[in-house]
Amino acid sequence: MEYKILAGEDREVYGALEAEIKRQQEGLELIASENYVFPAVQEALGSVFTNKYSEGTPGKRYYAGNQNVDAVENLAVERAKKLFGAEHVNVQPLSGSPANASVYFAFLKPGDKVLGLKLDHGGHLSHGHPVNFSGMLYNFVQYTVDKDTGRIDMDQVREIALREQPKMILAGFSAYSREMEWQKFKDIADEVGAITFADIAHIAGLIAGKQIANPVQIFDVVSTTTHKTLRGPRGAIIMCKEKFAKEIDRAVFPGMQGGPHDNVTAAKAVAFAEALKPEFTEYAKQVIANAKAMADELIGLGFKIISGGTDNHLMVVDLTPQGIVGKDAEAALDKAGISTSRSTIPFDPNPPYNPSGIRLGTPAMTTRGMKEEESRQVARWIASAIAAKDDEAKLVSIREEVKALCAKFPIPSV
């Protein structure tokens, strides 16, 4: 993309943008929730759709002049339905947490009981953490992974559900590397008469690419962000059974939000069309192959991966054997040009700001075209950088190697 006007009019913002372009081009992005959007998504985001207000739904707006917005919103809805096999889709949620808030708002009253995965076991803040609106407004009871296997313990989920009789069971994560047992969640929910809610924010692209089981036909309601493995704009959608369509739409607007961001809606439509192409299936397959190769190499280098490996795009590494906390590993890797995020590990003895692990993900490097060989090389750089955490010269030399590799795999949208 060209930024000629911005470069001429605002040197300060343009300066930061130039530096960010360089950072993204020259560094390896291993933050599991980040990716590079399709170039057409970036163009749609910068389009004049950003000038419009369009409260309401297609054909039923509270402002004039929405014929073109209606067209793109209808496209986004129809494409999302096809991509995920959904009966009803609302494409207006501004991001993951507002989408989840709308789902709670549609089905629950304050104080109602919900089951969700605990944050330090891979859950998300909006899945009932006490510092988040979800934990403040609703009565979340949290399930965990098993201490030995690192996998969600479905017997424990059932036991808690039978005991607590929740109104909703939420299945979803931001740091869990194994397949979700959607049908088992549904069976447990049916035993206690609970609504089933899946948050597939992290794995939506892998589901769209048909590499991971899809809960949309099984669950009552499913939310996802559109910007992670899916490579769309920052934003979210909610999918549900037709019988819940009215409640969901009303919860999004006027319940939670005002005007949708129509440039983002246009970009969502573009991303869904891209994800319907056969190349996207190849990408999704490669994301997982890369994650498996990286995990395998790391294990060979003495690293401990929670649950012993990965079925998806991410892994959580317990750094206790390396004698380093996540924050320090994140800092050393950043100096080596490798961007990661510190992560809690299950039963973490350390606090969330200074946890015991890091989370790694392969979506962004896969979008650049990197494959298993590069994934293994990256794992070796991670091991070297962590071992050399106080050796500035070594970290700089790894950074140069990283930069040379990145130059061979340019990012698709700048």
CB of 32 to ligand DSN, least distance (A): 6
**Structural tokens at position 384:** 């070297």
Site string for ligand DSN, 88-117 (x = CB under 6 A): --------x---------------------
Active site residue 164: no
Cβ contact 181:314 at 8 Å: no
Active site residue 73: no
DSSP string computed for 347-358? T-SS-TTS-SEE
147 class by beta-carbon count within 10 Å (0-12 exposed, 13-18 middle, 19+ buried): exposed
CB of 132 to ligand DSN, least distance (A): 11
Cβ contact 334:358 at 8 Å: no
Q: Is 174 in the site for ligand DSN (CB under 6 A)?
A: yes
Chain centroid to CA 44: how far? 21
Name the catalytic one among 26, 34, 55, 112: 55
Separation between Cα atoms, residue 203 and residue 223, nearest integer Å: 11
Active site residue 144: no
Active site residue 55: yes
Please, what is the Cα angle at 153 between 152 and 156, to 5 degrees?
135
Site string for ligand DSN, 357-386 (x = CB under 6 A): ------------------------------
Active site residue 57: no
Active site residue 186: no
Name the catalytic one among 29, 120, 199, 318: 199
Among 27, 33, 72, 189, binds ligand DSN (CB under 6 A): 33
Could you give the 3-state DSSP secondary structure of residue 32? coil
Count of residues engaged in binding ligand DSN, rule: CB under 6 A: 4
CB atoms within 10 A of CB 181: 17
* Pick 118 or 124: Cβ nearer ligand DSN: 124
Name the catalytic one among 3, 14, 26, 53: 53
* Pick 174 or 310: Cβ nearer ligand DSN: 174
Closest CA to 291 of 115, 32, 23, 109: 32
Residues labelled catalytic? 53, 55, 199, 225, 228, 234
Residues near ligand DSN (CB under 6 A) are 33, 96, 124, 174
